[in-house]
Amino acid sequence: MPYFKHDGLDLYYITEGEGEPLVLISGLGSKNIWTFQIPYFSKSKRVIVLHNRGVGRSSRPNYPYTMTMYIDDVKALLDHLEIKEKVHLCGISMGGMIAQHYVLKYPETVKTLILCATTAYHEAVSNVVNSQKELENSTLEQKFKVRVAALYSRPFRKKLKTDVQIYGILKNSFMEDPTRLQDYINQGATLGDIDTRDQLSKITQPTLILVGSEDRIILGLHNSELLHEKIPNSTLKIIEKTGHGFVVEEPDIVNKLIMDFIHKNSS
Tell me which of 253 and 266 has the higher pLDDT.
Answer: 253
What pLDDT is attached to residue 256? Answer: 98
Please give the domain boundaries of the chain with CATH numbers for all domains: 3-264 (3.40.50.1820)
The SS3 call for residue 172 is: helix
Q: Is 262 within 8 Å of 88 (Cβ atoms)?
A: yes
What pLDDT does residue 131 have? 84
pLDDT at 33: 95
Name which of 40-49, 121-130, 196-205 the model is least confident about. 121-130
Give 88's contacts (C-beta < 8 A, 6+ positions apart): 20, 21, 22, 23, 45, 110, 111, 112, 114, 262
Portion of the chain with pLDDT greater than 90, in percent: 89
Over residues 25-39, the pLDDT tens digits come to 999 999 999 999 999
Closest by CA to 53, choosing from 178, 186, 176, is 186
Question: What's the mean pLDDT in 52-74?
Answer: 97
C-alpha span between 70 and 74 (Å, rounded): 7
Residue 75 has pLDDT above 70, yes or no: yes
